[in-house]
Structure 1
Amino acid sequence: MTQPGGPVVYLAAPPFPYFTECGRSVYVPGDAHPSRGDLGMFDLILVERGMLFVGEEDRHWEVGAGNTLLLLPDRYHYSVRPCEEKTSFTWVHFRALGEWGIADEAEPGFADRDRHAAQFGTPPYTIRLPQFGTLPGAPGGSGEGERLLRLEERSLSGAVWERQRLFEELLRSLDLRRRDPSGSPAESVAERTERYIRAHYAEPLTGAILSNELHFHYNYLTRCMKRVNGLTPMEYLEECRLEQARLLLLRTEASVASVGEKVGFENAPYFSRRFAERFGISPLRFRQRHMR
């Protein structure tokens, strides 16, 4: 049987992928997954019982109970061979408005942070989904996929918000950034690190201080932060300082040098240079542009 792993699909957010439709299919022995190309949307398959034999271009998978398979919108999908036993699965179709790609699991991501931040006003979060993976929890009859099916049956316009929420929870449960190879809760450690940095960004912060305050080796904090949001703790610290500086420039009349000092930069020239590199404009020009 094919083992989960291999390529990872990367989706930059925001904008987050959006749900279009879902359903459940039940195959008897001899039935096969349809062959089609250029579907135009992602097809996420959650197998509850039995096994599907599916191909995409030159890759083949045996997708058994508890496995997930993410078929890409611009590829040719086909049945490798018919089912050999009764097989049931939930399928979820969704679209991605933002940048997406596929690469080896070791790749760190692909999004151009500066370009994304300029377009959407925030650095990207890169969702990492295994193309062939394992569904967290019980494989059938529970979880977000089951609730999505129940909502889909209602076909009420008022359910659109709930469907999207449940779909995002499903993606969240599959997101590899939430999982740490050591089995420790990477997301929890990353969130603790983020909260501490946001509470103390204006103070002198070093890796040693973070390690001492959070009771984890700095290398482990870095691994968790990189996995969850793609930044090291020090990179995240600078992002916080620059975002706070932008707010102070808009909401106060403090000098540029004073703003830099208030958010934790030790000297004004370095603050101005990093601000310009991050936002493409000097702090003074930024204030003048938005305070007219």
Structure 2
Amino acid sequence: MTIDSIGWQIIRSPEYSFYGDDRPDTGHVIFQYTISGQGYLDFEGRSYSLSKGTAFLVKVPSRHRYYYEPHHEPWEILWLNLRGEEANRIWNLVIEQEGPLLKRASGSPLILELWTLLRMIGEEKVTDKYLLSAKAYEWMLTLVRTSKEQSKDISITSSTIVECAKKYMREHYASPITLELLSEHCGINKYHLCRLFQKSIGITPLSYLRERRVEAALSMLRATELPIQEIGRLCGFESPSYFGKVFREYMSMTPKEYRLKKLEFPYVAIYYE
């Protein structure tokens, strides 16, 4: 493993723009930390704001772009580029745990150690490649350790967010609920909410909502004499045809057939969770 480049820079020009799949200098990984100002990262179809205290991890080549927009204050950054199989392995590990964006305080061990490495090269003129490789490896161990600590905090927060969304859907299944409305209620963006649901319970938020609506409909079909069309409306289905379609997907029969088959399904309620 070797250090490809390391540096500190203040960016003021919109010409600062790098595409990860269109660079001649391939085969390395990049850690870049925002000290002040703001930049942007486009990563696998999503756009991220790189504000103070935010770092990103990318590999070259890969489908990404990081850049500066001039209507912001100057973007001050600290970066490290590494080469080698071990660097690639660590990048994969951390991205899997935290995603491409990391949040670290300027006084955190990860950032302080990076400044130390920069001073060794820039001020003390250390050129011993073995010593520099060892120091870079120490820095990567700090990256892994702090990432694991961060992921524990993230998992606790994620669980709370998922439970918040599930509670809201259980209590408001009869109302029109969109991903935008649900994510706003939980205080996160809809893409993050979908990822948390998939990771936590293996389905999307809207799939979870459909399950709660079908459960409610099953109970009403057995416990009430309400018309089937009215039951669909009370359970949040926007049309009778959609209610029938979703119900058949779950029960392999129509709502009317289920209401009549009391001997085969002698339960007032059926739960999918």
TM-score grouping bracket, smaller chain normalisation: 0.3 to 0.5
Larger RCO (CA under 8 A, 6+ residues apart) = 1
Q: Which has the larger radius of gyration?
A: 2
TM-score, with structure 2 as normaliser: 0.39
TM-score (norm 1): 0.37
Larger proportion of helix: 2
